Amino acid sequence: MWGGRFAAGPASIMREINASIPFDKRLWKQDIAGSKAHVAMLAKQGIVSQDDAHAISAGLDTIAAEYEANGVPVNLDLEDIHMVTESRLAELIGPAAGRLHTARSRNDQVATDFRLWVRDAIDEVEAGLLGLQRALVARAEENADAVMPGFTHLQSAQPVTLGHHLMAYYEMVRRDRSRFADARARLNECPLGAAALAGTGFPTDRHMTAAALGFAKPTDNSLDSVSDRDFALDYLMAATQASLHLSRLAEEFIIWASQPFGFVNLPDAYSTGSSIMPQKRNPDAAELVRGHAGRIMGCMTALCVTMKGLPLAYSKDMQDDKPPVFEAHDLLGLSIAAMTGMIETVTFRTDRMRGLAESGFATATDLADWLVREGGIPFREAHHITGRAVAAAEAAAVPLDQLPLETLKDIDARIDDRIYAVLTVDASVASRQSHGGTAPAQVRARIADAKKELG
C-alpha cells in the first residue's frame, strides 16, 4: 500500500500499533454495503465502466458470503477491514478491484461504515429497551395495588404501590429510548464522498449513495464529515444514561433480595451459589449489571478524552474510536437482557412489602395532611403535632393506626376518630390521586397509556 512513497516497510511495532483489523472487522457488513453503493454510483456517473462495476459488486458479494461463513481473516499487514476486503477483491477479480477506491478515501469510508454500524446498534438497543418496557408494564399491572414502602434516604417515607414503583423505571427507559432516537436522527447523514478531507474532483453523486445506504442526506462539510465522531459520543452518552438506570434497578433488586428486606425471590436463572456456603443465593446478574454501568461510563469518558484536542481533519487517534463503542454496546445489550429477564421472572414478596410498609410510620404525612384539611392547622404546626404522634407510637411499639384515640387527643385535642380512616396504608395510597400519583387508579391509568405508547 505504501510502496510508492516509502522504500522500507514498517517496523514490527508500527505494524502492530497501526493495525485495527482485530477490532474493526466488526464493520465488515457496513463496509461491503458502503462499497457496493459507492461503485454503483461510480458506474452511473460514468466514472468506472459498467463491466468493472458489475465485477466489483459480484466480488463483494462473494467476500460477504466468505465472511459470513468463516469470519474475517486478521492480517496485520493489511491494517484494517477496508484493506482486507480490497485485497481479497483483487484476488477474486484482478486489477479492476483497484477502481473501487476512486473518489473516496479510507477517511470517509470508515466514517460511513462506523455511522452505519452505530445506526444498527441503536436499532438493537431500541428493540431491547422496548422489551424491557413491556416487561415492566406487565409486572406493574399485576401489582398495581400491591402496597410497599416508598423510600427517601433508604428510610421508609410513604406507602406506594409496587406497580407505581415499577412504572418509575418505565419512565426512565422511555427517556432512554428518546435519547437513542435523537442520536439516530442526528447521525443519519452520509459522509461517503467527502474523500480524505476536501471532497473530490470526480463528478460524484453523493445524494445517490446517501439514499442507497438509507441516510437522510449527505453531510454538508467535507472536513467535518471525516473528523466528526459526535455520533459515537451521542451513542455512548445515551448508553451511559441507560446503564445508570439499569444499575439503579439492579441495585434495588440486590437490596430487595437481601434477607433484611426479603422483597423478592430471584429466579435460579439469574442467581449463583457460593463455593463454600451452600445456603447462598447471590444476585450476581444484578451485580454485574451494576458493574457494567461503570465500564460503559468509562467507554464514554475514553472517547471524550480521545476527541477533546484533535485538530481538523482526521488524526490516527480516531482509530481508537471504535473499541469503546463496541465494548459499551456489548455490555449494554447484556445488561438490558439480564434486567428484562429478571423483571419477567422474579417473584415479588408483596406480603413482606406490605408488612414493612405498615411498620414504618409511613402514614405520618397522611396524619399531617388530615390536620391541615380537617382542622385548618398550618402545615408546619401539623408537622410538629405528627412528629409527637410518631414518637408516641414508637414508644408504644405500635403503628400509628393502632395508637389509642386518647393518646392522640392528649397530643392535640382537635384530633377525632375520623383520623383512623386515613392512617392505614391502603387509605394512604388510595388518597394519592394527583396526576402521576401512587393511587392504584392513577397507576392503572398510566399503564393503559403506556400500553398505547408501546403499541
In this structure, what DSSP letter does residue 347 have? E
Sign of CA dihedral 340, 345, 346, 349: positive
Residue 379 identity:
F
The helix/strand/coil state of 141 is: helix
- In sequence order, what are the beta bridge partners of 148? 160
Residue written as grid cell 469503546: 324
Residue 164 is among the residues annotated as catalytic for this protein: no
d(CA 19, CA 87): 15
Contact predicate 132/175, CB 8 Å:
no
d(CA 32, CA 104): 14
Residues 6+ apart with CB under 8 A from 138: 344
Question: Hey, what long-range contacts does 173-176 have (CB within 8 A, 24 or more apart)?
Answer: 173/129, 173/132, 173/133, 173/136, 173/242, 173/245, 174/133, 174/453, 175/241, 176/129, 176/238, 176/241, 176/242, 176/245
Backbone angles phi, psi at 160, to 5 degrees: -135, 180
Residue 245 is among the residues annotated as catalytic for this protein: no
Contact predicate 307/224, CB 8 Å:
no
Catalytic residue, chosen from 49, 178, 274, 315, is 274
- Interhelix angle 28-44/50-70, rounded to 10 degrees, is 170
Catalytic residue, chosen from 12, 153, 275, 435, is 153
Cα 318 from chain centre:
24
Q: Which residues are catalytic?
A: 153, 274
